[in-house]
């Protein structure tokens, strides 16, 4: 197995879906949580490229977790996730997902995500999330 990039540790969350997607890794960069994943054969389509569904999943995860970190709330519900693919990845590549949160307060939150392989940006995603009112 290839070494993890510096600063990455196993992702602190687990669950049936996350365990199937991963293994995921995390790194803090200031107040942002970055997610990383080493592409395996099982993450790829029949042509040998990372599956677009995995990239969309990674974008949704990094956006959601960063909104929780910024907003201090219990989480949001994805309302819209627009994704643009600008490249691809293959087995062995390291994917790094980073979020840029525009607004994390109130009932609606907005954020962008960028997924890179090295310096090469392969995905840009924009998300809108509904933040439910706290339960009383």
Instruction: Report yes or no: 97 and 26 within 8 Å, Cβ to Cβ.
Output: no
**Strand pairing report for 32-38 and 77-85:** unpaired
- Which of 24-33, 37-46, 70-79, 99-108 bottoms out in mean pLDDT, i.e. has the lowest? 70-79
Dist. CA 132–CA 33, nearest whole Å: 22
Torsion of CA 63, 8, 10, 62, to 10 degrees: 0
pTM for the structure as a whole: 0.91
Which residues have a Cβ under 8 Å from the Cβ of 73 and sit 6 or more positions away? Answer: 67, 104, 131, 134
- Check residue 41 and give left, alpha or beta (phi > 0: left; psi -120 to 50: alpha): alpha
Alpha helices in 13-123 (DSSP H): 16-21, 52-71
* Contact status, residue 65 vs residue 71, Cβ threshold 8 Å: no
- Ordered structural domains, the chain, with CATH: 9-130 (3.10.129.10)
- For 56-114, the pLDDT digits (tens) are 999 999 998 888 777 666 667 899 999 999 999 999 999 999 999 988 778 888 999 99
């Amino acid at each position: 197995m290839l070494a993890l990039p510096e600063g990455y540790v196993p992702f602190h969350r687990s669950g049936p879906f996350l365990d199937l997607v991963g293994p995921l890794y995390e790194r803090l960069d200031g107040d942002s949580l970055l997610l990383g994943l080493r592409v395996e054969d099982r993450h790829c389509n029949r042509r040998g490229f990372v599956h677009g569904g995995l990239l969309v999943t990674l974008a949704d995860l990094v956006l959601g977790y960063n909104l929780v970190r910024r907003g201090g709330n219990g989480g949001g519900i994805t309302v819209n996730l627009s994704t643009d693919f600008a490249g691809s990845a293959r087995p062995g590549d390291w994917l790094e997902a980073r979020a840029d949160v525009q607004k994390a307060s109130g009932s609606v939150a907005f954020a962008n995500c960028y997924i890179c392989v090295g310096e090469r940006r392969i995905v840009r995603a924009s998300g809108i999330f509904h933040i439910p009112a706290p339960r009383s």
